[in-house]
Amino acid sequence: MTVYVDHATLDTIAQSFSGASSELDGVAASAPESIDGGDATAAVLGILSRLMHDAGQLVVGLDAAGQAVADADAKYREQDVETADALIEAWSDHE
């Protein structure tokens, strides 16, 4: 186990999740407004409705994951600064 956190990697991961969320959300505009499936229209609309709902949940989940990674990275950075400040202060007091 290591205590090293690669902030650039965490930034990339957060952006990847957020970008995937935005891209998937943009696909919603291409969903058909109506379907002529004959006798199967109701079934096809039901399937499409479920797919759209699930895709919407995926958009929300991806965005939340991106935000969680970004928040964790910010906390790591904040803790690094606090630890460095405490170490500098302790070292200064020691001299």
Is 48 exposed, middle or buried, given 0-12, 13-18 or 19+ CB atoms closer than 10 A?
middle
**Sole residue written with tokens 């499936």:** 37
Q: Helical H runs in the chain?
A: 7-27, 41-94
C-alpha–C-alpha distance, residues 80 and 5, integer Å: 10
C-alpha–C-alpha distance, residues 71 and 54, integer Å: 25
For the ranges 6-10, 15-19, 90-94, the maximum mean pLDDT occurs at 15-19
15 versus 76: the higher-pLDDT residue is 15
Note the pTM of the prediction, 2 decimals: 0.78
Q: Give the per-residue pLDDT at 95.
A: 66
